[in-house]
Amino acid sequence: MSENTTQQGVAGHGAFFQDTNLKAEEAEAATAWVRSHVDRRTVDLGERMDDIREHMWELEKEGEIIVHRITDDHKPIEVETLFGWKKRIPTNQLWHHKSCGQCGNIPGYPTSLMWFMNKFGIDYLDETDQTSCTAWNYHGSGIGNVESLAAVFLRNFHQAYVSGKQHGFENGHFYPLVHCGTSFGNYKEIRKYLIESAELREKVKKILGKLGRLVDGKIVIPEEVVHYSEWLHVMRNRIASELQTIDMSNIRVTVHAACHYYKMVHEDAVYDNTVLGGNRTAVGTSVAQALGAQVIDYSTWYDCCGFGFRHIISEREFTRSFTMNRKIKVAREEAKADVMIGIDTGCITTMDKNQWIGKAHDMNYSVPIIADVQLAALACGADPFKIVQLQWHASPCEDLVEKMGISWDKAKADFQEYLKQVEAGNVEYLYNPELATNQHINMKTGA
52-222 classified as CATH 1.20.1050? yes
pLDDT, average across residues 278-299? 96
Answering whether pTM is above 0.85, one says yes
Going by the DSSP 8-state scheme, the letter that residue 218 receives in this structure is B
Q: What is the pLDDT of residue 445?
A: 36
> What proportions of the chain, in percent to the nearest 5, are helix, strand and coil?
50, 10, 40
The mean pLDDT of the chain is 88
Q: How many CB atoms lie within 10 A of CB 42?
A: 11
Tens of pLDDT, residue by residue over 233-256, are 999 999 999 999 999 999 999 999
DSSP letters along 351-365, please?
HHHSGGGGGGGT---
Annotate 64-81 with b (16+ C-beta within 10 A) or e (fewer).
bbbbbebeeebebeebeb
Which residues does residue 330 pair with via DSSP β-bridges, in sequence order? none
The predicted pLDDT at position 96 comes to 94
For the segment 391-409, what is each residue's pLDDT rounded down to a tens digit? 999 999 999 999 999 999 9
What is the tens place of the pLDDT at every residue in 190-219?
Answer: 999 999 999 999 999 999 999 999 999 999
Mean pLDDT check: name the lowest of 24-33, 132-141, 295-304. 132-141
Residue 154 contacts residue 222 (beta carbons within 8 Å): no
Question: Higher pLDDT residue, 17 or 145?
Answer: 145
Phi and psi, residue 227, nearest 5° = -95, 150
**Partners of 204 in the beta sheet?**
none
- Report the pLDDT value the prediction gives residue 443, as an integer from 0 to 100: 33
Domain range 246-411, CATH class: alpha beta
| CA atoms within 13 A of residue 425's CA, in its CB half-sphere | 1
CA distances in angstroms from 431 to 45, 116, 383, listed in the order given: 44, 12, 17
In this predicted structure, the answer to whether residue 1 has a pLDDT above a threshold of 60 is no
- Going by their DSSP bridges, the two strands 294-295 and 252-256 should be labelled as parallel
Domain boundaries defined on the chain: 52-222, 246-411
What pLDDT score was predicted for residue 396? 92
Q: State what percent of residues in the chain have pLDDT above 90.
A: 63
Please list the alpha-helical segments (H only) found in 324-444: 329-333, 345-353, 372-379, 398-403, 408-423, 433-437
Closest CA to 261 of 312, 225, 237, 297: 225
pLDDT at 328 over 90: yes
In 86-162 the beta strands, taken as DSSP E runs, fall at 86-89, 94-97, 124-125
Residue 72 identity (one-letter amino acid): D
Q: 253 forms bridges with which residues in the sheet?
A: 295, 339
Kindly indicate the confidence band of residue 446, based on its pLDDT and cuts at 50, 70 and 90: very low
What does the alpha-carbon distance between residue 267 and residue 191 come to, in Å, rounded to a whole number? 14
pLDDT tens sequence across 41-83: 777 776 667 899 999 999 999 999 999 999 999 999 999 999 9
